[in-house]
């Protein structure tokens, strides 16, 4: 019997390895692939959606935009073409949730510093205060990497329309110059300009979930 096993040892090892590979492949096939939801206006609380969009169930994407970053450069969708990105809304003089959110954005920037697929985009909601110079000062204070993260200012109505009609991240109220969008939402956007997740920008656990979801989204793309 011992002689038999010695004689066919090579074949036994070969079939053992082959069996392990086959079982592994079958296991991988049977495990459902994680896929992030594509969010539509109809999926989001109606108070966060413009009344003209509340019943939209498909094809929602982030609208085209033209804003100016901390370096005075015009930023459009073309700068985010074929990129995954995280968007939020803040203002430099905010002393409540914004410092926490900016800190978490900086954490995301650091953890994904070598990941060329992912960018960040922060919109000021007080463009009348947050000039290019003010954004640049803030960017330097917060360690913003210009190649990774744009802080943008511009037309206030355009920014507020983006928050409410594109990113679905702020309460839908009639626009006015005295209005102030104040939202903790981080929004994950895929390479097709679709919303793939909402996260509490003040919550460390939510940030961890965002980072996990980015990895899932990268595999999908």
65 with 154, same domain: the answer is yes
137 with 73, same domain: the answer is yes
The CA-based dihedral angle spanning residues 189, 191, 196, 202, taken in that order and rounded to the nearest 10 degrees:
-30
2 with 83, same domain: the answer is no
Distance CA 133, CA 204 (A): 30
45 with 105, same domain: the answer is yes
Return the pLDDT at 51: 78
In a domain, 36, yes or no: no
149 with 209, same domain: the answer is yes
Distance CA 39, CA 145 (A): 29
Return the CATH number at 126: 3.40.30.10
What is the tally of structural domains in the chain? 2
Return the pLDDT at 211: 98
DSSP strands (E only) in 125-176:
149-152
68 with 175, same domain: the answer is yes
121 with 16, same domain: the answer is no
10 with 90, same domain: the answer is no
163 with 188, same domain: the answer is yes
pTM of the model: 0.83
For residue 60, say whether it is annotated as part of any ligand binding site.
no
For residue 98, say whether it is annotated as part of any ligand binding site.
yes
92 with 4, same domain: the answer is no
Return the pLDDT at 54: 79
For residue 123, say whether it is annotated as part of any ligand binding site.
no
Query: 221 pLDDT exceeds 70?
Result: no
Q: With cut-offs at 50, 70 and 90, classify the pLDDT of residue 21.
A: low
Domain span including residue 27: 1-31
Q: How many CB atoms lie within 10 A of CB 46?
A: 13
Return the pLDDT at 8: 53
In a domain, 110, yes or no: yes
Q: With cut-offs at 50, 70 and 90, classify the pLDDT of residue 180.
A: confident
- 134's CB contacts (< 8 A; 6+ apart) are 92
Residues of the chain with pLDDT > 70: what percent? 81
In a domain, 205, yes or no: yes
């Amino acid at each position: 019997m011992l002689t038999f096993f010695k004689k066919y040892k090579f074949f036994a090892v070969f079939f053992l390895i082959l069996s392990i590979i086959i079982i592994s492949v079958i296991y991988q096939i049977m495990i459902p692939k994680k896929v992030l939801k594509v969010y539509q206006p109809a999926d989001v609380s109606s108070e966060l959606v413009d009344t003209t969009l509340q019943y939209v169930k498909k094809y929602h994407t982030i609208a085209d935009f033209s804003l100016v970053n901390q370096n005075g450069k015009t930023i459009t969708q073309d700068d985010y073409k074929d990129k995954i990105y995280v968007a939020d809304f803040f203002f430099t003089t905010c002393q409540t949730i914004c410092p926490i959110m900016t800190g978490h954005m900086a954490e995301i920037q650091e953890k994904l510093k070598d990941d060329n697929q992912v960018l960040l985009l922060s919109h000021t909601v007080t463009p009348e205060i947050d000039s290019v110079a003010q954004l640049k000062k803030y960017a330097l204070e917060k360690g913003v990497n210009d190649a990774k993260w744009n802080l943008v200012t511009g037309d206030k109505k355009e920014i507020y329309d983006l928050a409410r009609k594109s990113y679905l991240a702020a309460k839908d109220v009639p626009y006015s110059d005295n209005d102030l969008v104040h939202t903790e939402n981080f929004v994950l956007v895929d390479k097709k300009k679709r919303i793939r997740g909402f996260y509490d920008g003040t919550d460390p656990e939510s940030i961890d979930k965002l980072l996990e979801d980015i990895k899932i989204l990268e595999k999908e793309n």
